[in-house]
Each structure stands twice: as C-alpha cells, then as structure tokens.
Amino acid sequence: MSRNAPRHHPRKRFGQNFLRDESTIEAIARAIAPDDSDHIVEIGPGEGALTQALINGECRLDAIELDRDLRTRLLAAFSKYPGFTLHGADALDFDFASLATDGARLRVVGNLPYNISTPLIFKLLEQAPIIKDMHFMLQLEVVERLAASPGSKDWGRLGVMAQFWCEVESLFEVPPEAFYPPPKVHSAVVRLTPHPRPAYPLVDPTSLARVVAQAFSQRRKTLRNNFKGTMEDNDFGGLAIDPSARAETLSIADFVAIAAHLHV
C-alpha cells in the first residue's frame, strides 16, 4: 500500500492496532520466508503493511478483513496481483477449509486483535491437517501461554491444545511503539507448526479437548474436585496421576491418558 495514502483511523471495536515499524515488518517476513508456491492466508491485513512484504507475482494470498473501509484500500493496493483475493468476513466465522482446494497446505499469518486471538487459535488448531504453519503477532501473555511448560503458571488449556497439535516457537518480542495506536501491552511473534504425524494418534482430539477444559475449569482446585462424579481416586491411581494435584502440573501425556480412560 502506498506510503503516501491517507492513514486509516483505527477502530476500537475491531481491536485495531496497526503495525507500522519497518524493522518488525521485515523481521516477520524473514521468519515466514514466503515462496512462490505458497498459499498464504492473512488474517486482518489492516493497512496492508505485512501484505506488501509477503505478496509477489506468483504466490496465492487470501486476505480476510472485516473492516469495509480497509477492504476498499486493500483492493486498490493489491488487486493488481493475480494471486490476491480479499474476503470480507469475520475470521471467527470464516471457513478456512474452503481455501484448501489446490492441494497446498495453508500458511496462515496475522496481527491478531487481542479480543479474538484465543478463540481464533482454538478454531485454527482444529484445522491443523490443512495448515503448513502459522505465524501470529499476539499479546506477549498469550505467546507465553502457548509456549509454556507443565508446572508453570502459564501452563493451561491453550498451551496444552496448541502443543498437542503443533510445535510452538516464540520468535521475538515487539514493543508497543511498533504499532499505531500503541497498545498498553507488549506483543510477540509466535510460530505454530502442525506436527507432521500425530504425537498421540490413538486419542480422540474432541475428547481430549473436553478433558483439558474440565481439568482447568477451576485452576486452584484439585483434579479430584474438577473431575468429581467423573473420575474416582482409584481411576487416577491406575493412571499414576495424583488426584490431589492441580491441572497445571500435568503433562500432555497425562491429559491424553485421562481422555483415553474416560473414552473407554
């Protein structure tokens, strides 16, 4: 998009904070390293700063933008590229599978609004088989939760399910001044790469998701309390799991074991 174009006034209801720092844009583009054969899906391109760094004459890039005014600007800037398609939609309602029709797995990127980032990541994790990788700018706190380890205060439902589906890499932090308007929090860029083969192929992902949600439903309570009426102490004992432990101490393998036990 032309650097001389009038600036778009960010809209709070869309959670808009536009990335404008050139060095950060270049660092994200280097991390993604787009190839001519890629099928890129950009969520919330905003003013098109990252779009400009990723698009070329060969790759296919589908952009999903909810703001009508921004869509007009994006079309004016990028419709000259034959592989560019703009979708006027809310990413939370968008059917990402509808784009994976050319045999190429999707490379999903985006500077995600803080108010939708977690539910959107959960939605995309369910689409992991059609995704090659995901690169997101997120609130630093969300990236820390995605990349957390068992036993840490950040270990929770988001990290368990993200790491069940993907390898998670926290790439670098981004200060508030890289955006307009500057958010009140620090941000970070994260890479999620779906595992080439399921790490736990025998567990039903839907059952696992229910178990993890139940385990973390009340973080300060023990597994015994959170699974009351579902699991007895001897059930946990048979899985070598302490019923008086809290969910944040369990590994992914522990959650998988509970899900398998309940499924049987």
Which pLDDT tens digit goes with each residue over 192-250?
999 999 899 999 999 999 999 999 999 999 999 999 999 999 999 999 999 999 999 99
Alpha carbon separation from 105 to 67, 123, 177, 190 (Å, rounded)? 27, 16, 34, 19
Domain 12-194 has CATH 3.30.470.20: no
Instruction: Evaluate the CA torsion angle 64, 67, 72, 74 in order and state its sign.
Output: negative
Q: What is the pLDDT of residues 99-152, one digit of tens each?
A: 998 788 999 999 998 889 999 999 999 999 999 999 999 999 999 999 999 999
Q: Residue 167: pLDDT band by 50, 70, 90 thresholds?
A: very high
- Indicate if the pLDDT at residue 7 is higher than 80: no
Tokens representing residue 258 in the block: 């509970």
The domain limits of the chain are 12-194, 205-263
Alpha carbon separation from 29 to 136, 200, 203 (Å, rounded)? 11, 32, 36
Tokens representing residue 17 in the block: 């904070």
Architecture of the domain made up of 205-263: Orthogonal Bundle (1.10)
Q: What φ, ψ does residue 228 adopt, rounded to 5°?
A: -60, 130
Q: Give me the pLDDT at residue 114, please.
A: 83
For residue 107, what are the β-bridge partners? 40, 133
